[in-house]
Chain A
């Protein structure tokens, strides 16, 4: 099956710093989503981005489908950004969304 690798596995940032999270995947995908799981376990959908670039406030994401990777940028990080960031991909409709293991981000004041 498709492999999804996220890096780094853990990241500690000072408040106000910027960061880039990476997601590599092993096959062509129809669907790619970035999620943030907060410390209480809730998964929040950040972006649907099978290709191209999107921005939402301090977050932006870029997927280069031909090279099979996606990047999530977090600028001016805040303590509320702490949690685990997951990348999930789907190779075709009606196949399971496959999640990476996540990047655990800790933003310290």
Chain B
């Protein structure tokens, strides 16, 4: 148990569906992250929120829409996805996103949502 929970753990959706992934951290952290892990590829950072503000968007298609209503919750809204979007989506949190880089940036990951797009 890392203190980061994700729901649902598994999701199957059609290309016309709209769904949302939820992440919640119970660690008192201020930074939250979405990662995508596709088969045979390194983890890819998608979005970063620091103190509820989005600070990074790594060229993610607009069919993925993040939302961070507070420092403890992070959502990823999905719509009109493609089969190649099937992957494991991991949420992580860290104490903060520091400009200097420090132990405060140690990231703790949730269990992930395994998404299949048909």
Contacts and interface: CB of A to CB of B under 8 A. Distances in A.
Contact of B90 (A43, A93, A102): A43
Interface in B25-59: 37, 41-43, 45, 48, 55-56, 58
A101 B42 contact: yes
Interface in B67-113: 88, 90, 92, 97-103, 105-112
B94 to A, nearest CB: 9
B98 A93 contact: yes
A84 B112 CA distance: 15
Nearest to A90: B101
A99 B45 CA distance: 9
A56 interface: no
Contact of B99 (A35, A93, A96, A99): A93
Interface residues of B, number: 29
Given A92-B101, A93-B97, A99-B43, A45 B111 contact: no
Contacts of B111: 40-42
Interface in A67-103: 86, 88, 90, 92-94, 96-102
B114 interface: yes
B16 interface: no
A72 to B, nearest CB: 16
A31 B31 CA distance: 16
B24 to A, nearest CB: 15
A42 B101 contact: no
Given A93-B100, A96-B48, 5 more contacts: A41-B112, A43-B109, A90-B105, A94-B56, A102-B42
